[in-house]
Amino acid sequence: ILNVEQSPQSLHVQEGDSTNFTCSFPSSNFYALHWYRWETAKSPEALFVMTLNGDEKKKGRISATLNTKEGYSYLYIKGSQPEDSATYLCAFINGNNRKLIWGLGTSLAVNP
Amino acid sequence: ETGVTQSPTHLIKTRGQQVTLRCSSQSGHNTVSWYQQALGQGPQFIFQYYREEENGRGNFPPRFSGLQFPNYSSELNVNALELDDSALYLCASSLAMERPPGTGELFFGEGSRLTVL
């Protein structure tokens, strides 16, 4: 059974704080890692698709890194804003069957 | 707005009934995936269709079945509904240039919330 774990499960930060959270996945037979943001009452929105060890991707104040050898990815948010409040989900794709295996998400609340 | 639409948005069924959920994928996308998200859980992969063929299936029983049509829209059918089938069902479309697909970003609909009584 392949597990994807995200930590922390939830966190509360103040507006302007920078924050980061982790997605851990099996390090063998890696194919790709996806990050999504899911705001309440909306549909999940793709942030990044990462495929290479050492990948770093950035979209505005959000960035992500990937370490496939040790099986983790970090998502960073610089200068959090209330509109960043959402659940951040990662999904791992195993090279055997190319199915996405999802973590449970990190729920971020940014207080103004 | 992702361009992926799902219907119905909410529905209530009773145990033993059957349900059909529908998904219109984003224009130009050839791949559709279905996910079940129960309360407090991450999305669970049900199955994926690529150019009208099932391209992978998660750990769901055969009473979960699907179709993809020539216009790449899709249906999820669930027979003999059980209480545990109550969940948000998400559809996501993507453009895959390869088989099996794996690296394309998913564009999600807003989901169909099913309640089984």
Please give, rounded to a whole number of angstroms, the shortest distance from the CA of B111 to a CA of chain A: 7
Q: Provide the strand spans (E) within chain A.
A: 5-7, 10-14, 19-24, 30-38, 45-50, 56-59, 62-67, 72-77, 86-94, 100-102, 106-111
> What is the pLDDT, as a whole number, of residue A99?
73
Q: A100 with A34: CB under 8 angstroms?
A: yes
Q: Which residue of A has its CA nearest to B40?
A: A104
Beta B74-78 vs A100-102: how paired, if at all? Answer: unpaired
Question: CB–CB of B108 and A102 under 8 A?
Answer: no
Closest to B82 in 3D by CA, of B18, B1, B8 = B18
> What is the pLDDT, as a whole number, of residue B2?
67
Please give, rounded to a whole number of angstroms, the shortest distance from the CA of B81 to a CA of chain A: 24
Beta A56-59 vs A62-67: how paired, if at all? Answer: antiparallel
State pLDDT tens for residues A85-112: 999 999 998 887 777 788 889 999 999 9
Question: Is the N-terminal amide bond of B62 cis, ω within 30° of 0?
Answer: no
> What is the pLDDT, as a whole number, of residue A2?
62
> What is the pLDDT, as a whole number, of residue A19?
96
Q: Residue B11 CA to chain centroid, in angstroms?
A: 15
Tokens of A97: 């069957």
State pLDDT tens for residues A27-81: 888 999 999 999 887 888 999 999 999 999 999 999 999 999 999 999 999 999 9
> What is the pLDDT, as a whole number, of residue B60?
93
Per-residue pLDDT of chain B (117 residues), as tens digits, is 668 999 999 999 999 999 999 999 988 888 899 999 988 777 888 988 888 888 788 889 999 999 999 988 999 999 999 999 999 999 999 887 665 556 778 899 999 999 999
> What is the pLDDT, as a whole number, of residue B58?
85
> What is the pLDDT, as a whole number, of residue B88?
95
Chain B residues touching A31 at Cβ < 8 A = 102-103
Please give, rounded to a whole number of angstroms, the shortest distance from the CA of A101 to a CA of chain B: 7
